[in-house]
Structure 1
Amino acid sequence: MEQYQKYIQINPNIRFGKPCIAGTRIAVQDILGWLASGMNNEEILEDFPELTTDQIRAALAFAADSERRTRLLAA
């Protein structure tokens, strides 16, 4: 997803500045945790009807982009 930025916001007053889905208090970290625990998109959408499939994809794209920008520094 190339345009994930329109779905993700970072506000120091919401969830201590964690990246969240715009207009919600649902953090990217929450979505990643649900997916890692075995929930699928349909289960997440059922539990959190305010989310969309595009927002879940945006959370994954944000995490992938963050990982891509991470560099390992040799000790």
Structure 2
Amino acid sequence: MITIEPGKRGGKPCIRGMRITVYDAFSYLPSGITYEELLDDFSYLTQEDILACLSYAAD
């Protein structure tokens, strides 16, 4: 789930109300990291979180 809270991270879209933004998650992908590696590096993220980011970005 993507959330937007005015007082958190400047109102940028965040993953499940955490302080990691959609942009933060996607900023790793151009460096060649796969989404599986992203999930390994950030154990608090789920596959559903990544899919929610993709869906949000597609809109």
Tell me the TM-score normalised to structure 1 length. 0.73
Corresponding position of 1:52: 46
Structure number with larger C-alpha Rg: 1
Where do 5+ consecutive residues of structure 1 fail to align? 1-6, 66-75
CA RMSD of aligned residues (A): 0.9
Q: Does 1:37 align with 2:36?
A: no
- Distance in 2, Cα, partners of 1:63 & 1:36: 15
Where do 5+ consecutive residues of structure 2 fail to align? none
Tell me: higher relative CO, structure 1 or 2? Use CA pairs within 8 A at least 6 residues apart. Answer: 1
Identity of matched residues, %: 51
Q: Does 1:16 align with 2:10?
A: yes
Letter in 2 for 1:26: I
